[in-house]
Chains A and B, each alone.
Chain A
Amino acid sequence: MVMAVKELGTLHSVGKGIPRLDADEKVRGLAQYADDLNVPGAWYGFVVRSPVAHGRLRGLKKDPGFDWSQVVVVTPEDIPGNNIVDLMGRDMPFIAHDVIQYLGEPVALVAAASRHLARVAGSHIRADIEELPPLLTLQDMVARYKEDPAQLHELASQTIRKGDTEKALSEADMVVEQEYSAGHQEQLYIEPQGMVAIPESDGTMFIHGSMQCPYYINPELCETLDIPPEKLRVKQSAVGGAFGGKEEFPTLLAGYCALLALKAKRPIKIIYDRNQDILYTTKRHPSWSRYRVGVMKDGTIHAIQTEFLLDGGAYTTLSPVVMYRGILHAAMGYRCENVAIDGHVYRTNTFPNGAFRGFGAPQALWAWESMIDELAEACGMTPHEFRLKNCLHQGDSTPTGGILRDSVGSPTVLEKTLERANFSEKLKQCSHGRRGEKKWYGIGLSFFAHGSGFTGDGEARIKAKVALDLEPGDDGKPVVNVRVSSTEMGQGTCTILPQVAADALSIDIRHTAYPMPDTFKVPDSGPTVASRTAMVVGSTIFSAGKKMKAELEAFVSAELFDGQPVVLEQDRFCGSYGDKEMSFEEAAAQYLSRKGSLRVYDQFKLPEFIKWNQKTFEGDAYPAYAWGCNVAELEVDTLTFEIRVTRVTSYWDIGRLLNPVLAKGQVEGGLVQALGYAMLEKIEIKNGKYDADRMQTYVIPTTLDIPEMDLHFVEFPYEHAQPGAKGVGEIPMDGLAPAIANALVQATGIRMRDLPITPEKLFQMMHEEKTA
């Protein structure tokens, strides 16, 4: 099944389960996370927040009885530049100055010598707000949408059109209509958000902390601080999990710290406690999907019409792109020549929703893969027959008219998973809510693709830049440092990129290293998001490594081997006359002593045949797709309605496996996060506030909730991005919820269309069914 990859050379690091290069410091407790940084003279920052979700800010009242001399207070008047957080829209201020759009919106910043004093001072500032009626929930948003969308404030919209969907719906033998929804999900990285801003004597502002994307903070903060990019240094500390939650949010925290640091003229540290972290950071967008799908009697999908709505929260932030990824996956995976998709993001008065592993795709696929089972049933087909009949193959066209040219893991992952799970046989054993049983058994299927890299024109715009530095390491020996802005946050960047660099050069991985990204040292290889690091940044490192290899071979040939042709292979330079050989380490040391350090740059280029129209959403939405298939088996306790997922079987095509141990770790962790999304993790809004605001009330899976996981990879390497990885970060999040809902139908006869699926909701649905 493994396809040949040209000109790859012999790989010695890639494909091996090399232990993480940062494992040692992590298991010894030595990794320095934001709160572990020793920052002499630092004060602690605190954010004073609006107690209401929507209103007009009349002013701030500072308690005259409080001793303000011991603290520093920042209000909008103190901001040197523009009071704007520039993400996809320029509508969000760092500190509110007019309209309050969500509960907890900053109205002032305070710093003091201790956390306690900063908090106490903050409690002596009161915002005077004229309250306005808020729009708080997805349910209210959808109700207004159905009544008249003009009542809503639209933050973004986008359409996809292929063929003539209305005509095709009228031609179809059957039209199935259905609605699905999903609630918030909190990233719940175990390390809360934390940041430090250090004003340096030369006017540089040094931002150091927990983040995914150093090159978001620079340039975004430059406009607010009114400093040039070269005066803003951003460095990543060890990151204790992120999952998208540290994509755009850290810009806010860095802004709070930097604004306070400017005024206080000293370092400022803000470490959120868990309660602040849940209440006042981004979450996965709640979503609502409505489908009208036309099918023919033989089970062919003839027309797909869908609306995909996201609850954006208070400001635009990254929501447009989350919605784009959502609509690009909302009808993906299956052949259909008539597709009409409308995506919208509307404002509600909650904290802006944001990036979370999957980035719109899990919401879209939750609905779409549930719908696929409903379509199969309408056609009188089994879930697997229907999928096998309609799924995309190599050469087919996606909903945006892109052609799946190569590296297509469909239908292989589907076929292999079905076989491995013995799906068709076990489907016959399902309980269908039979009376008199203690436990109901069900099995369910989902099949899906996830676009690798930025959506649409993103990679073409960013043109990821990377560098490799050959320089003396801490021990004086030559080391090849990987210089990228791609961060390590647990997923494995710090190991896979050195693996790729080592193989490109044909050297031992011990001669490579991955220093923590620092914008004063690394070029902008783009943010660490969108399942793009392995494919986009990895392939650019690979070509940079090839360049460095050629440079070093030329040096050894000219200066050490009397001009004879030289090849660097398996850590040794070999002259072609067979009389000279030198180790990489020795030759690289010679290079350093004669010529100094060597930096090689490279830049990512999309293959020329990848075409995309960002206005009409036509063409190749992604350079490549990863493919996955999940089979979930579960048991329902017929007395308590407790649902226990007992087993997940799945196959994945993520292109070439750079590191099988790390890749499997991504899949296991992603599936468990998806299990939480599907069944456990629930936040509702009560009195304008999230009701689950701590780890006691926001419950995520523990060791006791984990199903048996039978996970396998099939490799379809992506030849246009050597060594051929596609991306594994997000796809494990995409398909488990619908597989569970589909299994639950087989177990109970009840179709759940709102996430999370809890025993309470199941009980209610069974009760309604009985009384109906």
Chain B
Amino acid sequence: MNKVKRTWQINGEEHQTEIPPVRRFLDVLREDLGLKGTKEGCGEGECGACTVIVNGEAVLSCMLPAGQVPENAEVTTVEGLEKTPGGRLLQAAYAEKGAAQCGFCIPGMIVSSYAMLSRDPSADPARIREAHAGNICRCTGYEKIVEAIQSAAEQWPAGTKG
């Protein structure tokens, strides 16, 4: 199969790859680049565990052919969050509030939180629930996740994208 060359900024670092364009972006991240923080829960875009941010948009990496990730795209995965003030805030809030239990949905969940707050740090609980409806968690009942995001939102660094 023909391969395509791509250069991406993943978590602030440049990665050059040569990949079959239909290879799932999730597999490129996990298997080719060793970024195993991003998880596969369903493989069909239902659970959100594979959520990553591409050019500011939260996307499901299990449904995304890697060839569709544009050249020079800025990609953020769970591993990249700690490099940003907002990401660190979210990580601390998730930990403190008990938002992670088994933790398997968390890489996708917290990336969705980061994408949402980067766009709109004024989000109220209803908006938070709306923005995370595509991230399935089986452990927490979502209460502590919503609490954590609210708590991070209240302290979100003003005027930044996080």
Q: A residues bordering B, Cβ < 8 Å?
A: 17, 19-20, 22-33, 35-36, 187-192, 238-243, 273-274, 489-492, 661-662, 664-665, 668-673, 694-696, 700-704, 706, 709
Cβ–Cβ contact A190 & B142, under 8 A: no
CA distance A36 to B103 in the complex (A): 13
Cβ–Cβ contact B100 & A669, under 8 A: no
Cβ–Cβ contact A706 & B143, under 8 A: yes
Cβ–Cβ contact B138 & A20, under 8 A: no
Cβ–Cβ contact A20 & B133, under 8 A: no
By beta carbon, the residue of chain B nearest A676 is B138
Cβ–Cβ contact A23 & B94, under 8 A: yes
> Which 6 A-B pairs have CB atoms at the shortest separation, nearest pair first?
A29-B37, A240-B104, A490-B102, A26-B103, A29-B78, A668-B141
| Shortest Cβ gap from B11 to chain A (Å) | 11
Cβ–Cβ contact B41 & A274, under 8 A: yes
In the complex, besides A20-B101, A665-B101, A702-B133, 7 extra interface pairs with C-beta distance below 8 angstroms are A19-B98, A27-B94, A36-B36, A489-B102, A492-B101, A664-B144, A704-B130
Cβ–Cβ contact A31 & B43, under 8 A: no
Interface check B96, CB cutoff 8 A? yes
Given A19-B95, A30-B37, A189-B138, A668 and B106 touching (CB < 8 A)?
Answer: no
Q: Which of B102, B134, B141 contacts A190 (CB 8 A)?
A: B102
Cβ–Cβ contact A703 & B100, under 8 A: no
Interface check B118, CB cutoff 8 A? no
CA distance A20 to B41 in the complex (A): 23
Cβ–Cβ contact A20 & B130, under 8 A: no
| Shortest Cβ gap from B71 to chain A (Å) | 25
Interface check B121, CB cutoff 8 A? no
Cβ–Cβ contact A694 & B141, under 8 A: no
Cβ–Cβ contact A703 & B132, under 8 A: yes
CA distance A709 to B136 in the complex (A): 19
Interface check B24, CB cutoff 8 A? no
| Shortest Cβ gap from A486 to chain B (Å) | 15
CA distance A190 to B140 in the complex (A): 12
By beta carbon, the residue of chain B nearest A489 is B102
| Shortest Cβ gap from B62 to chain A (Å) | 10
Interface string of B51-95 (1 = CB under 8 A from A): 000000000000000000000000001110110000000110011
Cβ–Cβ contact A709 & B143, under 8 A: yes
Q: Which of A27, A274, A669 contacts B139 (CB 8 A)?
A: A669
Interface check B146, CB cutoff 8 A? yes
CA distance A505 to B40 in the complex (A): 41
Cβ contacts under 8 Å, A191 to chain B = 39, 41, 102, 104
Cβ contacts under 8 Å, A32 to chain B = 36
Q: B residues bordering A, Cβ < 8 Å?
A: 36-44, 46-47, 49, 77-79, 81-82, 90-91, 94-98, 100-107, 110, 128-130, 132-146
Q: Which of B44, B81, B100, B132 contacts A23 (CB 8 A)?
A: B100
Cβ–Cβ contact A27 & B110, under 8 A: yes
| Shortest Cβ gap from B38 to chain A (Å) | 7
Cβ contacts under 8 Å, B78 to chain A = 28-29
| Shortest Cβ gap from B142 to chain A (Å) | 5
By beta carbon, the residue of chain A nearest B103 is A26
Cβ–Cβ contact B137 & A190, under 8 A: yes
Cβ contacts under 8 Å, A701 to chain B = 141
Cβ–Cβ contact B103 & A669, under 8 A: no
Cβ contacts under 8 Å, A25 to chain B = 103
CA distance A241 to B129 in the complex (A): 22
Cβ–Cβ contact A703 & B140, under 8 A: no
| Shortest Cβ gap from A70 to chain B (Å) | 20
| Shortest Cβ gap from B100 to chain A (Å) | 4
| Shortest Cβ gap from A498 to chain B (Å) | 16
| Shortest Cβ gap from B152 to chain A (Å) | 11
CA distance A670 to B39 in the complex (A): 23
Residue pairs across A and B with CB atoms within 8 Å: the count is: 164
Cβ contacts under 8 Å, B146 to chain A = 703
| Shortest Cβ gap from B112 to chain A (Å) | 10
Cβ–Cβ contact A19 & B79, under 8 A: no
By beta carbon, the residue of chain B nearest A24 is B95
Cβ contacts under 8 Å, A24 to chain B = 91, 95
Cβ–Cβ contact A490 & B103, under 8 A: yes
Cβ contacts under 8 Å, A709 to chain B = 141, 143
CA distance A706 to B142 in the complex (A): 8
Cβ–Cβ contact B98 & A706, under 8 A: no
Cβ contacts under 8 Å, A27 to chain B = 90-91, 94-95, 100, 103, 106, 110
| Shortest Cβ gap from A269 to chain B (Å) | 13
Best-buried of B38, B78, B103, B107 by chain A (most CB within 10 Å): B103
By beta carbon, the residue of chain B nearest A660 is B98
Cβ–Cβ contact B143 & A668, under 8 A: yes
Cβ–Cβ contact A694 & B42, under 8 A: yes
13 A–B contacts, CB within 8 A, in A order: A23-B94, A28-B79, A29-B36, A29-B107, A189-B104, A191-B102, A240-B102, A241-B101, A489-B102, A490-B139, A668-B141, A702-B142, A703-B145
| Shortest Cβ gap from A174 to chain B (Å) | 40
| Shortest Cβ gap from B99 to chain A (Å) | 8
| Shortest Cβ gap from B78 to chain A (Å) | 3
Cβ–Cβ contact B141 & A20, under 8 A: no
| Shortest Cβ gap from A680 to chain B (Å) | 12
By beta carbon, the residue of chain A nearest B34 is A38
| Shortest Cβ gap from B31 to chain A (Å) | 10
Cβ–Cβ contact B107 & A672, under 8 A: no
Cβ–Cβ contact B142 & A491, under 8 A: no
CA distance A187 to B128 in the complex (A): 26
Cβ contacts under 8 Å, B102 to chain A = 189-191, 239-242, 489-490
Best-buried of A31, A242, A664 by chain B (most CB within 10 Å): A31
Cβ contacts under 8 Å, A192 to chain B = 40-41
| Shortest Cβ gap from B76 to chain A (Å) | 11
Cβ contacts under 8 Å, A695 to chain B = 41-42, 44, 46-47, 136
Cβ contacts under 8 Å, B138 to chain A = 187-190, 241, 243, 669, 673, 700
| Shortest Cβ gap from A707 to chain B (Å) | 10
| Shortest Cβ gap from B87 to chain A (Å) | 10
CA distance A583 to B99 in the complex (A): 34
By beta carbon, the residue of chain A nearest B35 is A29
Cβ–Cβ contact B133 & A190, under 8 A: no
Cβ contacts under 8 Å, B128 to chain A = 703
Q: Which of B47, B136, B141 contacts A669 (CB 8 A)?
A: B141
Cβ–Cβ contact B141 & A29, under 8 A: no
Cβ contacts under 8 Å, A274 to chain B = 41-44, 47
Cβ contacts under 8 Å, A23 to chain B = 94-95, 98, 100
CA distance A190 to B139 in the complex (A): 9
Given A28-B79, A29-B78, A33-B39, A703 and B142 touching (CB < 8 A)?
Answer: yes
Given A274-B41, A669-B101, A29 and B79 touching (CB < 8 A)?
Answer: yes
Given A27-B94, A28-B82, A709-B141, A35 and B40 touching (CB < 8 A)?
Answer: yes
Cβ contacts under 8 Å, B110 to chain A = 27
Q: Which of A19, A190, A664, A702 contacts B96 (CB 8 A)?
A: A19
Cβ–Cβ contact A17 & B46, under 8 A: no
